[in-house]
Amino acid sequence: MKPLCDWQLADVLPHGAVLRVGGRHAFKVEFLGPALARVTLTKDGAYRQGRSWSVAPDGDVPWTGRSRDAVAGFNLPDVTLREDDGTLILQTDTLRVTVQTPLTLTWQARMGDDWVQIAADRPTGAYLLGTADHKHAHFMARHPDDRFYGLGEKSGPLDRSGRRFEMRNLDALGYNAETTDPLYKHIPFTLTTRPGAGTLGLFYDTMATCWFDLGNELDNYHAPYRAFRAEDGDLQFYLHWAPDMAEVVRAQHRLIGGMGFMPRWGLGYSGSTMAYTDAPDAQDQMAGFLDQIAAHDIPCDSFQMSSGYTSINGKRYVFNWNTDKFPNFPALAAQFDQAGVRLVANIKPVLLTDHPRYAEAEPLFIRDSETGKAEVSPFWDDNGSHLDFTNPDTIRWWQDNVRTQLLDKGVTATWNDNNEFEVWDHNAQCAGFGQALPAGLIRPLHGHLMTRASYDAQRGFAPGKRPYLISRCAMPGTQRYAQTWTGDNRTSWHTLRWNIPMGLGLSLSGFYNIGHDVGGFAGDKPGPELFLRWVQNGIFHPRFTIHSWNDDGTANEPWMHAEVIDLVRDAMALRVQLMPYFYTQLWLAHTTDQPMLRPLVMEFPDDPKATNAQFEFMFGPDLLVASVIEPLAVERVLYLPDCPEGWWDFETGTWLAGGQTVQRPVDLASIPLYVRGGAVVPMANGDLALFPAPDGCVARSSDLYEDDGETENGPARETSFILRSADNAVALDWAQSGAYQNAWARITPRLPASESRTLFIDGNPILPGTAIPFA
d(CA 761, CA 748): 12
* Residue pair 629/500 in contact by the 8 Å Cβ criterion: yes
**8-state DSSP, 365:** B
User: Each residue of 393-451: pLDDT tens digit?
Assistant: 999 999 999 999 999 999 999 999 999 999 999 999 999 999 999 999 999 999 999 99
Per DSSP bridges, beta strands 758-761 and 729-737 are parallel
User: Could you tell me how far CA 361 lies from the centroid of its own chain?
Assistant: 32
Give, in order, the Cα–Cα distances in Å from 339 to each of 270, 309, 401, 438: 13, 21, 26, 47
Burial class from Cβ neighbours inside 10 Å (0-12, 13-18, 19+) for residue 182 reads: buried
* Residue pair 671/772 in contact by the 8 Å Cβ criterion: no
* Residue pair 385/350 in contact by the 8 Å Cβ criterion: yes
How many C-beta neighbours within 10 Å does residue 737 have?
Answer: 9
User: Each residue of 336-356: pLDDT tens digit?
Assistant: 999 999 999 999 999 999 999
User: Could you tell me how far CA 387 lies from the centroid of its own chain?
Assistant: 25
Give strand ranges (E) for 669-757: 673-676, 679-682, 687-691, 700-706, 717-725, 729-737, 746-750
Which residues does 604 contact at the CB level (< 8 Å), separation at least 6? 610, 641, 642, 643
* Residue pair 321/411 in contact by the 8 Å Cβ criterion: no
* Closest by CA position to 739, among listed 714, 712, 709, 710: 714
* Closest by CA position to 600, among listed 504, 511, 525: 504
Per DSSP bridges, beta strands 87-91 and 95-100 are antiparallel
How many C-beta neighbours within 10 Å does residue 56 have?
Answer: 19
> Using DSSP, how many helices (H) and how many strands (E) does the chain show?
12, 54
What pLDDT was estimated at residue 516? 98
d(CA 257, CA 474): 14
CB environment 591-602: b (16+ within 10 A), e (fewer): eebbbbbbbbbb
Q: Which residues pair with 31 in a beta bridge?
A: 37
d(CA 448, CA 390): 10
* Residue pair 622/641 in contact by the 8 Å Cβ criterion: no
User: Each residue of 700-714: pLDDT tens digit?
Assistant: 999 999 999 999 999
What pLDDT was estimated at residue 85? 85
d(CA 324, CA 578): 41
Torsion of CA 673, 679, 680, 684, to 10 degrees: -20
State the Cα angle at 112 between 111 and 113, rounded to 5°. 110
State the Cα angle at 350 between 456 and 486, rounded to 5°. 70
Question: Would you mind telling me the total number of residues written for the chain in this entry?
Answer: 775
State the Cα angle at 620 between 546 and 675, rounded to 5°. 100
* Residue pair 450/349 in contact by the 8 Å Cβ criterion: yes
What pLDDT was estimated at residue 381? 86
* Residue pair 684/661 in contact by the 8 Å Cβ criterion: no
* Closest by CA position to 157, among listed 612, 603, 638, 659: 612
- Residue 40's H or E segment, with its range, is strand 36-42
Low-confidence ranges of the chain (pLDDT < 70): none
* Residue pair 753/653 in contact by the 8 Å Cβ criterion: yes
What pLDDT was estimated at residue 332? 98
What pLDDT was estimated at residue 324? 97
Give strand ranges (E) for 495-614: 515-518, 522-523, 543-546, 549-550, 597-599
d(CA 397, CA 228): 38
d(CA 299, CA 303): 12
Give, in order, the Cα–Cα distances in Å from 686 to each of 86, 579, 732, 739: 67, 11, 15, 19
Torsion of CA 58, 62, 63, 67, to 10 degrees: -100
Which residues does 281 contact at the CB level (< 8 Å), separation at least 6? 325
Burial class from Cβ neighbours inside 10 Å (0-12, 13-18, 19+) for residue 367 reads: buried
